[in-house]
Amino acid sequence: MSKKQFFLGIVLASLIGGLVALLGVSVLQEKNGNSSSYTQQQSASFVNWLNDDRFVIPDGINFVAAAQVVTPAVVHVRSSVSVAGRSGGVDPLEEFFGFRSPSPRGEQPPREGRSSGSGVIVSADGYIVTNNHVIENASKVDITLEDNRRYVAKVVGTDPTTDLALLKIEEKGLPHIPFGDSDEAKVGEWVLAVGNPYELNSTVTAGIISAKARNIRILRDENHLQIESFIQTDAAVNPGNSGGPLVNLSGEIIGINTAIASRTGGFSGYSFAVPSAIVKKVTEDLMEYGTVQRGLIGVSIQDVSPELEEREGIKIKASRGVYVAGVNEGSGGEEAGLKKGDVIIGIDGANTFTTSALQERVARKRPGDKVEIKFLRDGKEMTTTATLRNVSGDTKVVIREVPKREEFEGVVFEDVAAAVKNRLEIDGGASISIVENKAWKDAGFREGFIITKIGRTRINSAKDVVEALRKYKGEEVSILGVYPNGQRSYYDIQL
């Protein structure tokens, strides 16, 4: 065969191969139907997949649907807090009596500080859950919805021991999110954190549950009643996310984002949320009673560990559990027969191998409720039933007293709670809850200011304020008091 014949053979074979390929493509197009563009030929839609059954994703992983359900119910919470002003010199009144003057000598009146966080609407009529530290000591709480509607919220109640607070805005038909079951949430499960980090509204981040029943020792309570049994997740949470929801992929609340593990103040890999089992119970208590009902077994506890054995010089016949270090006299635990040295391993059928898990289970109960306790004594498993009691040692439900209010010419005064008086070390007083009087605003009065004295009249209640103001009507008078942050001030006003 000559070179010319060989070359013509190769060309002929190439032409035949090309014709066969074109014929094959034509046949496939006829079978699949005509398409006018490359995009229309794709078997998956990445833009509108929720309405396209051709888009296939793994079962249970549905970030888009969950985010769409949740974000309308997440709100931006902004709190106003009085911050001490700065002085340009020493005022004799401040030097001798500890009160700061708003006079033009260089002394500035208290500035209005702002804190920012998140919250989640849990009912159509405007109940909002957030963190206590987001609204603590606030004189005013502003709420902004995702659609930019704005409201002033009322603080229904707070619980510093779980760092939760319940707010209320006056509106109906609001988007809201149901509570899920944090007990059913599993380590490794996908979750979303939604909130307003760094003022970036409606931010959604995803992660997995890294651990449950974490105690990071961030909460403090003078009676040592703080409850830390956090859900740990690696969903990114930053300042401003506090109070926002942690949700499962069904769009249900399984936690309230509360804290981050960080050495810099920014997200470093882990965040922590109060589980919904506690959030739901606290919310129901605050709605019904205005305060949280805390049931107690009445025992002091520690985690079982080799360090505990070494420190106490004892040998515990258990590798894990909650060691009973003491039993309070007259407590439900004593009545149930618990003794020092017992190791609690379960409450109401649920394993409680750590103090945080035990505290979480008991925190769901109220005074008067009964719990079944599984424990080890000298290595032998036993059960008993304890009736929970409150801090006072009885089984009564505590109802928060609604503070009495009085109004005088557009200014509303409110009795001060005993806890606030104790913290500020004052004997009495009445706080300003609403200021709609121009003269009072111009004089420098702000919501939250606690009046302790008007002229020479000492103030112990809101009623005392109104009586004193009527007494001094038509006169210029000095009104002394203290802000929630402890700063003492006084104002002169013509009544």
- The per-residue pLDDT for range 259-276, each reduced to its tens digit, is 887 666 666 678 999 999
Q: Annotated binding residue at 188?
A: no
Lowest mean pLDDT among 191-205, 213-227, 232-246: 213-227
Total count of residues recorded for the chain? 495
Query: What's the pLDDT at 180?
Result: 95
pLDDT-based confidence at 92, cuts 50/70/90?
A: very low
CA 142/CA 78 separation, integer angstroms:
5
Q: Domains of the chain (ranges plus CATH)?
A: 69-168 (2.40.10.10), 190-289 (2.40.10.10), 299-387 (2.30.42.10), 405-494 (2.30.42.10)
Lowest mean pLDDT among 55-69, 158-172, 190-204: 55-69
pLDDT, tens only, 375-390: 999 999 999 999 999 8
Lowest mean pLDDT among 19-33, 128-142, 174-188, 239-253: 19-33
Query: What's the pLDDT at 69?
Result: 92
Residues sharing a CB contact under 8 Å with residue 379, sequence separation 6 or more, in sequence order: 317, 318
Q: Annotated binding residue at 133?
A: yes
Q: Measured in whole angstroms, how far is the alpha carbon of residue 5 from the centre of its chain? A: 86
**Which has more confidence, 319 or 20?**
319
**Which has more confidence, 218 or 40?**
218
pLDDT-based confidence at 102, cuts 50/70/90?
A: very low
Average pLDDT over residues 205-218: 92
**Which has more confidence, 30 or 337?**
337
Lowest mean pLDDT among 15-19, 137-141, 235-239, 313-317: 15-19
Query: From the candidates 82, 139, 229, 242, which is the catalytic residue?
Result: 242
Query: What's the pLDDT at 90?
Result: 39
Query: What's the pLDDT at 265?
Result: 66
| Average pLDDT value over all residues in the chain | 83
**Which has more confidence, 265 or 315?**
315
**Which has more confidence, 374 or 61?**
374
Lowest mean pLDDT among 63-72, 101-110, 135-144, 321-330: 101-110
Contact criterion met (CB below 8 Å) for 203 and 155: no
Query: From the candidates 118, 133, 139, 356, which is the catalytic residue?
Result: 133
CA 270/CA 273 separation, integer angstroms:
10
**Which has more confidence, 29 or 113?**
113
For residue 465, pLDDT beyond 80:
yes
pLDDT-based confidence at 75, cuts 50/70/90?
A: very high
**478 noted as active-site residue:** no
Burial class (CB in 10 A: 0-12, 13-18, 19+), 113: middle
- Phi then psi for residue 293, to 5 deg, are -95, 110
Residues sharing a CB contact under 8 Å with residue 5, sequence separation 6 or more, in sequence order: none
pLDDT-based confidence at 258, cuts 50/70/90?
A: very high
- Phi then psi for residue 10, to 5 deg, are -65, -45
Task: Return the number of other C-beta atoms located less than 10 Å from residue 180's C-beta.
Answer: 22
pLDDT, tens only, 5-35: 555 555 555 556 555 555 554 444 444 444 4
CA 11/CA 229 separation, integer angstroms:
77
Q: Annotated binding residue at 285?
A: no
Query: What's the pLDDT at 389?
Result: 94
Query: What's the pLDDT at 417?
Result: 82
Average pLDDT over residues 208-214: 94
pLDDT, tens only, 422-449: 888 898 899 998 888 888 988 888 888 9
For residue 76, pLDDT beyond 50:
yes
H or E segment to which residue 191 belongs: strand 190-195
**133 noted as active-site residue:** yes
Cα–Cα distances in angstroms (integers) from residue 192 to residues 64, 207, 248, 484, in the given order? 10, 6, 6, 35
Average pLDDT over residues 319-347: 95
Query: What's the pLDDT at 47?
Result: 35
Query: What's the pLDDT at 88?
Result: 40
Query: What's the pLDDT at 423?
Result: 84
Query: From the candidates 163, 285, 415, 464, which is the catalytic residue?
Result: 163
For residue 177, pLDDT beyond 70:
yes
H or E segment to which residue 116 belongs: strand 111-121
**276 noted as active-site residue:** no
pLDDT-based confidence at 4, cuts 50/70/90?
A: low
CA 22/CA 261 separation, integer angstroms:
62
**Lookup: tokens for 409:** 């010419």
Lowest mean pLDDT among 72-86, 94-108, 314-328: 94-108
For residue 411, pLDDT beyond 80:
yes
Contact criterion met (CB below 8 Å) for 343 and 314: no
Instruction: Identify the DSSP state of 38.
Output: T
- pTM reported for the whole predicted model: 0.72
**Residue 408: which of 454, 352, 345, 355 has the closest Cα?**
454
